[in-house]
Amino acid sequence: MATFEALGISSDLIKGLNELNINKPTPIQEKTIPFLLEKGTDFIGQAQTGTGKTAAFGLPLLMKINPKVPKIQALVLSPTRELGQQIAKQLFKFTKYCDHKIFVEAVYGGEKIEIQTARLNRPTHIVVATPGRLIDLLNRKALSIEDVKTIVLDEADEMLSMGFKKELDTVLKHTKGTRHTWLFSATMPKEILDIINKYMAHDAFKVQVDKESIVNRDIDHFYKSCDSNDKLNVLLQFLKSQGENRGVIFCKTKVMAQTLAKQLQAKNVLAEAIEGDMQQRDREKVMRAFKNEKLRILVATDLAARGIDVDGLAYVVHYQLPDQIEYYTHRSGRTARAGKSGLSLSLVTKDEMKNLYFIEKNLGIDILESKL
């Protein structure tokens, strides 16, 4: 079995990993790290959330930084502020025992741009950014990406589905010819292939994962057919069966997420909604309570849940089926992380059954009828 040392990771970074209880590489890390450390070309990795991809790109990225040069040498683009904050925090923790400090800054919408501009005036080696905020800062000349040698596109499919294609085009055009691009995506829709063909080297190294690996086999998939009027009762029955287990319930719209959270609260179920229109401080308050296990259930929209990385979630409920197969994969991937098992339950009306069969067929999974 491979070790981080055998993969070429420095002893000071390994010390930081051990403190985080990251002791053996995951499959994506085994395939990715040696290549990114040795080769000077572009990279394409297909990996879901929860597979350890932050360390897969983060460790080689940190080893490529020259701490003595106080310039931005790497850029990590992520779809949401939550994911951006998590990546920055993880990179910081990896470097705890490094002799020379590597400075990482996270910039994202929802925080005053002046605060971030002030932070960027300090020595910064790596910037983790959401695409919209990065463009704002570039337009204000608050940061320079002239010296960037590596750009990481994390959850690239999510960034495109959120409408960030224009921003990605701008950044990739601006740095063309001067940088290597490392692209990570759970799925490979046409828009991703367009970016690869347009902006990445023809000899880009691909870690291609077969369908078996794209779909986490530690997740048990179930469905329950019910009338839309009866969904709440079926959900309450399921939550009761889960006892103190924690999980995320997905809705398609902000209104539905808020409504369902209130309905659950009225039934004395400890649940809070998280959706895109919430103030940043309110989102952070809910997420803090959820991560600290003071909150058992999170009701979320697909947009708001992107980047949520919480260990120990026993289940995911699709209160409303998503419109895209990719969303089903991303939603279900919130559970069964780090080798643990998990459960994905879809509550479907008769009209939604054909969508469920479509998901089942395309992902090559069995979605069994629940005995609820």
The answer on pLDDT for 209 being more than 60 is no
Q: How many domains does the chain have?
A: 2
Give the pLDDT of residue 20. 84
More confident residue, 98 or 305: 98
The mean of the pLDDT values for the chain is 90
Could you read off the pLDDT of 334-371 as tens digits, one per residue? Answer: 887 666 788 999 999 999 998 898 888 878 889 999 98
Could you read off the pLDDT of 127-148 as tens digits, one per residue? Answer: 999 999 999 999 999 999 999 9
Other CB atoms closer than 10 Å to residue 366's CB: what's the count?
9
Do 183 and 300 lie in one domain? The reply is no
The closest alpha carbon to 365, from 214, 260, 255, belongs to 214
Give the pLDDT of residue 333. 81
Give the pLDDT of residue 187. 82
Give the pLDDT of residue 62. 98
Could you read off the pLDDT of 94-138 as tens digits, one per residue? Answer: 999 999 999 999 999 989 999 999 999 999 999 999 999 999 999
Do 300 and 229 lie in one domain? The reply is yes
CATH number at residue 222: 3.40.50.300
Give me the amino acid identity at 279: Q
Give the pLDDT of residue 109. 92
Do 239 and 162 lie in one domain? The reply is no
Alpha carbon distance 31, 37 (integer Å): 11
Give the pLDDT of residue 350. 92
Give the pLDDT of residue 198. 93
From residue 301, give the alpha-carbon distance in Å to each of 240, 317, 327. 22, 12, 10
Question: What does 89-130 look like in DSSP terms, one character per residue?
Answer: HHHHHHTTT-SS---EEEE-TTS-HHHHHHHHTS--SEEEE-
Point out the domain boundary residue: 212, 227, 253: 212
Q: What whole-number percentage of the chain has pLDDT above 90?
A: 65
Other CB atoms closer than 10 Å to residue 39's CB: what's the count?
12
Do 173 and 236 lie in one domain? The reply is no
Do 333 and 365 lie in one domain? The reply is yes
The answer on pLDDT for 210 being more than 70 is no
Point out the domain boundary residue: 161, 191, 212: 212
Do 203 and 248 lie in one domain? The reply is no
Do 322 and 348 lie in one domain? The reply is yes
Could you read off the pLDDT of 77-95 as tens digits, one per residue? Answer: 999 888 899 899 999 999 9
Give the pLDDT of residue 307. 60
Could you read off the pLDDT of 226-277 as tens digits, one per residue? Answer: 999 999 999 999 999 999 999 999 999 999 999 999 999 999 999 999 987 8
Do 298 and 249 lie in one domain? The reply is yes
Other CB atoms closer than 10 Å to residue 267's CB: what's the count?
12
Point out the domain boundary residue: 184, 212, 240: 212
Which domain range does residue 322 map to? 215-369
Do 153 and 225 lie in one domain? The reply is no
More confident residue, 313 or 304: 313
More confident residue, 52 or 222: 222
Do 200 and 230 lie in one domain? The reply is no
Other CB atoms closer than 10 Å to residue 262's CB: what's the count?
12
Give the pLDDT of residue 144. 92
Give the pLDDT of residue 211. 47
Give the pLDDT of residue 14. 96
Do 187 and 40 lie in one domain? The reply is yes
Alpha carbon distance 316, 336 (integer Å): 10
Q: How confident is the model at residue 214 (pLDDT cuts 50, 70, 90)?
A: low
Do 225 and 205 lie in one domain? The reply is no
